């Protein structure tokens, strides 16, 4: 073999190796890594017969973060295994939830997250489809929750419980609705009321009365029928955007609180992060403005003793079967996955 051919081969081999590596990297993306790590942990535990032991120590695996307006299928976001690799979990298990447990492990409270409840507009995009639960599906979900013996609470109840001031009923559940769209007041509130349940509605106070958003009258009527109204900022600000000054962020929070007070006489201590985005700076702003609890869009159940300003929720997707809905009532957070 002459030198030139040899060099050319070496170059080709290097190139092929690099391409293969790149392919592996592509296939094994962040989610897949977490996924495989979790699956492997479970296999090992099962093999050692440790799975039945009481969980003791926290493993902090970062759960995938989802934008509030994420694409459909997140957290149902199937992880594609690399070609030739066996799927990490049996196909009937939800790929995004490697740890499913029987519904309501003790002390864990599902906080359901909705956006729209009702009909889709003409030619909806994928995001809108994901954010819209049909009225029929919502009714099925509320009926199931009722049948399973859950008791709907408000976020203020949860606040009292987290602070040790209040007891909660057996099997508490919290329904939350982000953004204050008018369809949830038209379609979801009557169903909740029929079932003697309450819900918590996060209002973007600067958008109240605009097209598609409920007006102050509707909000007052909801308040009078036992619904809870909480802050979701004044203009749906992304608080992690560096373009915004601390003063502006503070005003978004303080003005939202003041609007609820001025229009509805509500002093809300509950906040819902727009897009689910948060950081230490906004947490401090919330504390400064007298907020006790804040909800993210991170997936999981709430437990007493958790960081009150970064509480997880369970997203309810526009296209979701009732079995998935039921299973999600009992799914633990990634962060709460424990092992010895
Ligand atoms: Zn929102």
Tell whether 172 and 261 lie within a shared domain: yes
Distance of CA 240 to the CA centre of its chain: 17
79-83, 105-109, 189-193, 250-254: the lowest-pLDDT one: 79-83
Exposure string over 94-106, b if 16+ CB within 10 A, otherwise e: bbbbbbeeebbee
232 touches 256 (CB < 8 A): yes
Other CB atoms within 10 A of residue 339 CB: 15
117 touches 187 (CB < 8 A): yes
pLDDT band at 9 (very low <50, low <70, confident <90, very high): low
Neighbouring residues of 105: CB distance < 8 A, sequence distance ≥ 6: 301, 330, 332
User: What is the Å distance from ligand 1's center to 207 Cα?
Assistant: 11
Neighbouring residues of 315: CB distance < 8 A, sequence distance ≥ 6: 66, 75, 113, 297, 299
User: What is the Å distance from ligand 1's center to 178 Cα?
Assistant: 5
Whole-number pLDDT of residue 8: 54
CA angle in degrees (0–180, nearest 5) for 193-219-176: 60
Whole-number pLDDT of residue 13: 56
Choose from 34-38, 42-46, 204-208 the range with maximum mean pLDDT.
204-208
The string of pLDDT tens digits covering residues 277-290 is: 999 999 999 999 99
Tell whether 122 and 7 lie within a shared domain: no
Tell whether 156 and 43 lie within a shared domain: no
User: What is the Å distance from ligand 1's center to 310 Cα?
Assistant: 15
Tell whether 160 and 273 lie within a shared domain: yes
Closest CA to 328 of 145, 132, 147, 178: 145
> pLDDT at residue 90 above 50?
no
User: What is the Å distance from ligand 1's center to 204 Cα?
Assistant: 8
Tell whether 49 and 168 lie within a shared domain: no
Q: Which of the listed residues 53, 72, 88 is the one where a domain comes to its end?
A: 53
User: What is the Å distance from ligand 1's center to 256 Cα?
Assistant: 13
Tell whether 121 and 29 lie within a shared domain: no
Domain of residue 37 covers 3-53
User: What is the Å distance from ligand 1's center to 328 Cα?
Assistant: 21
Alpha carbon separation from 85 to 34, 88, 162, 200, 332 (Å, rounded):
16, 8, 44, 44, 27
Mean pLDDT of 50-72: 34
User: What is the Å distance from ligand 1's center to 293 Cα?
Assistant: 16
In a domain, 58, yes or no: no
Q: What does the DSSP 8-state code read for residue 75? A: S
Other CB atoms within 10 A of residue 226 CB: 15
Tell whether 206 and 316 lie within a shared domain: yes
Tell whether 215 and 329 lie within a shared domain: yes
Whole-number pLDDT of residue 202: 98
Closest CA to 34 of 7, 4, 64, 66: 64
User: What is the Å distance from ligand 1's center to 71 Cα?
Assistant: 14
CA angle in degrees (0–180, nearest 5) for 95-98-100: 115
Whole-number pLDDT of residue 5: 53
Tell whether 35 and 184 lie within a shared domain: no
Tell whether 47 and 116 lie within a shared domain: no
Tell whether 33 and 119 lie within a shared domain: no
Does residue 75 have a cis peptide bond before it, meaning omega lies within 30 degrees of 0?
A: yes
User: What is the Å distance from ligand 1's center to 1 Cα?
Assistant: 66
Q: Report the predicted TM-score, pTM, of the whole model to 2 decimal places.
A: 0.69
pLDDT band at 335 (very low <50, low <70, confident <90, very high): very low
Whole-number pLDDT of residue 217: 98
The string of pLDDT tens digits covering residues 116-166 is: 999 999 999 999 999 999 999 999 999 999 999 999 999 999 999 999 999
User: What is the Å distance from ligand 1's center to 272 Cα?
Assistant: 8
- Reading the block at residue 15, the tokens are 């190139």
Tell whether 145 and 218 lie within a shared domain: yes
Number of domains in the chain: 2
151 touches 173 (CB < 8 A): yes
In a domain, 315, yes or no: yes
In a domain, 65, yes or no: no
Q: What does the DSSP 8-state code read for residue 40? A: H
């Amino acid at each position: 073999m002459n030198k030139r051919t040899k060099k050319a081969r070496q170059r080709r081999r290097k190139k092929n190796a690099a391409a293969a590596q790149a392919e592996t990297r592509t296939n094994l993306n962040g989610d897949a890594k977490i996924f495989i790590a979790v699956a492997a942990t479970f296999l090992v535990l099962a093999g050692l017969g440790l799975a039945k032991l009481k969980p003791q120590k926290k493993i902090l695996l970062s759960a995938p973060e989802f934008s509030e307006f994420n694409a459909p299928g997140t957290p149902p976001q199937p992880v594609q295994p690399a070609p030739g690799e066996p799927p990490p979990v049996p196909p009937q298990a939800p790929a995004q939830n490697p740890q499913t447990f029987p519904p309501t492990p003790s002390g864990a409270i599902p906080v359901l997250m909705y956006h729209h409840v009702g009909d889709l507009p003409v030619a909806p995009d994928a995001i809108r489809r994901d954010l819209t639960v049909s009225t029929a599906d919502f009714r099925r979900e509320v009926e199931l929750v009722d049948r399973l013996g859950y008791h709907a609470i408000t976020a203020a109840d949860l606040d009292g419980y987290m602070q040790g001031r209040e007891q909660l009923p057996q099997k508490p559940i919290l329904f939350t609705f982000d953004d204050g769209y008018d369809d949830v007041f038209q379609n979801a509130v009557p169903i909740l009321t029929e079932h003697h349940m309450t819900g918590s509605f996060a209002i973007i106070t600067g958008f109240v009365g605009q097209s598609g958003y409920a007006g102050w009258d509707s909000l007052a009527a909801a308040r009078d029928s036992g619904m809870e109204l909480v802050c979701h900022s004044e203009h749906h600000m992304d608080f992690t955007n560096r373009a915004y000054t601390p003063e502006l962020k503070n005003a978004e929070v303080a003005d939202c609180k003041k609007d609820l007070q001025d229009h509805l006489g509500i002093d809300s201590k509950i906040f819902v992060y727009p897009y689910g985005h948060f950081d230490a700076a906004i947490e401090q702003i919330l504390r400064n403005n007298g907020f006790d609890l804040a909800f993210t869009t991170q997936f999981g159940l709430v437990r007493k003793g958790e960081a009150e300003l970064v509480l997880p929720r369970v997203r309810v997707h526009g296209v979701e079967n009732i079995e998935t809905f039921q299973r999600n009532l009992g799914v633990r957070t990634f962060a709460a996955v424990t092992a010895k």
